[in-house]
Structure 1
Amino acid sequence: MDNSIFEGKRRDNISKICSNCEVLPVRDGCLKILTEPVEVCFDRAKKLQVLNQYAEESECATFETLEEKTCGLLRWDEKEVETHRKEISLLTSTQLFDPKNEMIDNESINRVFYEICGSRFPVEDFKDYCKKERIFSEIREAVRLLFILMNALGYHRNKIEKRTKFTYKAFYPTYDREFYRTIRSGFYDVDHICYASKCNYFVTCDYALSSQAMEIYRYLGCKTNVIYCEKKAPDPSLPLAVLCKKTATP
């Protein structure tokens, strides 16, 4: 399918699902629902992509060193890393971040949370965090910290590859085009999860992101249902009613 046709169908589908409504943060830290054509939203997003380029590349450099820093902090060798990945992949977030969890002790998890993720609070403080009314900035910080922690532990992590090269003119590392597109989209994942925390559904074609979102919502106590839509589906404009039959957040 031609890319422009594919994008057109995606936009039509989004327009039907959201009735041309979008959620944006306003000055008081709350979220506001606005109504405008989907095309206007897409055009604005394209302009912001250019402005955010350096921030995206900086985030890219941060994420590619998360696991390396975690291994250094906890003194894990390669064999231990693989063992821990397999073990924690079987857990839900509420099990993994439980102070009584013996697989990775709570002290180690909080060391990563403080020293690598930059949190000022222990991870257990965010349990059921969103069951109380929170403004957007509070939700975003909680989601961001849990998102970084998951990637640092290799838990439903994003696919992060090493940088291809440095150039003497560039302050930030440079990446090949295919990889950079993956990181560019991942840069906005945190905001997408935040916005959807006030919605009934979070729909994505990214399997890793769907797993991360499901566990973040589970831990924060959000009621948002996570729906994974197969990327290779013959028709990208499947109605929401069909998508909702897929597994949702418990």
Structure 2
Amino acid sequence: MSDFNAKKVLVLGGSRGIGAAIVRRFANEGAAVTFTYAGSKDAADALATEASATAIRSDAADRDSVIAVVRDQGALDVLVVNAGTLIIGDPLELDADAVDRMIDVNVRAPYHAAVEAARHMPEGGRIIVIGSVNGDRMPFAGGAAYALTKSALQGMSRGLARDFGAKGITVNVIQPGPTATDMNPEDGPMSDFMHSFMAIKRHGRPEEIAGLAAYLAGPEAGYTTGALHTIDGGFGA
């Protein structure tokens, strides 16, 4: 366990699943946590009460809203960008506007949030982006657009790590494999297929992803930046 007392943490996309687990982890370790949500108001309100955190409604596809939320927090110690959306399907049939919105949420929002946070972060600040193992491997048809967004985060994190290194700010990507969330339940229709080529034949738990986020935000990870941290049960092995 790390000590995040007196640390200021913002989680973009924190009301459910991996984001909610990250909110709980930092709050339980003493941080002052603010998180955003888009449509899950009841879940956000319940989590805010449970974790003594602050919930802010914000659309991650709206660049100005993302920047304003980060700017209004002032000097953050930790920024975690978890907001994301998933569209799977035949690229010849997918709605182009829906694909562009996914790019806005999954790529543009992390970039603009990271840049805005770095303007005021103190030395030792941490920027953590939740990507996906699909940035490395897309083993089934229909995932090209989603994989595109997650691969983009790899280049972004490497570049920003160099840009912000002189300020003592680290930038890292966590790449989960199949993780038990509302979007990807462990008993979902693709579970057996996904487990069939995993070394550990189960979904990950959101708390396991949150544990890696806490490590990357802590003092022992001060020399770790521009790196991709895959936590996938051997999905991409």
TMscore range, shorter length: 0.3 to 0.5
Greater Cα radius of gyration, structure 1 or 2 = 1
Higher strand share: 2
Higher helix share: 1
Q: TM-score, normalised by structure 1?
A: 0.34
